[in-house]
Amino acid sequence: MNLPGAEILVFSQPGPDGYASVRIARRGDVLSPVGLPGLTLSVNHILG
């Protein structure tokens, strides 16, 4: 989480050389965790 920048960094697809995918979520975005199907999280709500 980058609070001063109001961003959430989402890392996925881990491998031996690091993560294959890195996403930056900002205010107004919605996150859907792969491990919790059907759950959505508002970045606005997380950042407050």
Partner residues linked to 29 by β-bridges: none
Q: What is the pTM of this model?
A: 0.79
Which amino acid belongs to residue 14?
Answer: P
pLDDT of residue 34: 87
pLDDT score, position 14 = 96
What is the predicted pLDDT for the residue at 36?
93
For 44, phi then psi, to 5°, come to -55, -45
CA torsion 39→12→42→6, rounded to 10°? 160
Per-residue pLDDT of the chain (48 residues; tens, 9 = 90+): 889 899 999 999 999 999 999 999 999 999 999 899 899 999 999 999
